[in-house]
A and B are shown apart, each in its own frame.
Chain A
Amino acid sequence: MIGRILTGRELNLILRLFLGGMFVYAAWSKVLEPSSFAMAVRGYKLIPFSLSNLFALCVSWTELVAGVMLILGILPRKAAAAIAILLVMFIIAIITTLVRGMVVDCGCFGNEGGSSTSWLLIVRNVGLLFGAYLIMAYNDGFLCVFPGRRVAPVRAVESRRLSEY
């Protein structure tokens, strides 16, 4: 039952709009003000100083493009994968700050949030990551502009696999 809800197209559509909306919102102020997001990036002290601007640009634009693709349903599974990669990066980055005992402006929503890194952020990001996984694995192109080709005919296989749980 739970498996059917998780893999169902209704939840998938909701997840797509939610994740997409969230990432477009998060990307907006970063894209408009890359220098202020680059400051947040430097705060993590993880990547070389000289590359912080470039990194900030790449991350914010990926958020924006992948978010728009999710909302419109353009290659939604691949867009969700791009977001999942970002989320894994964010989770690792936040864990390193906590392990190093640093208090860092997370930079999550540009300069509007102002929240510091915390374990709660990791929990949130893991939750978002699970949502992105559900889109990657189960999106069937429902209400998508361009769903793209699936690699394997999964629907039947996947639902059987889930019912075995």
Chain B
Amino acid sequence: METVLEIKGLKKSYGKKAALDIGNLEFKGGKIIGLLGPNGSGKTTFIKLVSGLLTPTLGEIKVGGMLVGADTKSIVSYLPDANYLFDWMKTKDVIAFFKDFYKDFDEGLALSMLSNLGIDLKQSLKSMSKGTKEKVQLILVMSRRAKLYLLDEPIGGVDPAARDYILKTIISNYNEEAVVVIATHLIGDVENILDDFIFIDEGKVVLAGSVDEVREEKGKSIDNLFREVFKC
């Protein structure tokens, strides 16, 4: 498989304090990777660096062989952990917006998912609940045929029933060559869809590997392993 995301000597500091210092990483296509760690461990920092919202202090990040910039943004689909759509828009306006700017946006897919979840196209985002807004955001992000999906806490704000739908959406919508990075601390909920995991703490990679190997060799779930590693 082709390398989708390549990271070399990556470091991000604020003043003297290092927020992230993870050295080298390589992500090959066709995998769903869990970026797992406690609050404030550097998950969001990592995702923002790859999506181009933060600038690395040291090192380089390449997506599809290109340094992060306008070109990589056309193949990266990013879901932030906060509401980032314009409040004055209606659902149909944000669909048009994504269609205008992303060549890989599949409008039909987005419309069918919105109708599955019973979201009204004419409803303005301002009048939506937090959970509904998150669903709309996730649908938009997953309706792109991107090479790299960066999902920051995709299930944090929605109810368990919607969680299942969202996870199913993620599995069924990413293609063979793509990489999906899911940053979360809700490990139990996502572990079934993960291929690989990365444990991160205080900006450093603590442990990484294949989910199946952990299950087979150690006879543990990732959730259990996480609780062991990050025992308070």
A and B assemble together: no
Residues of B within 8 A of A (CB): none
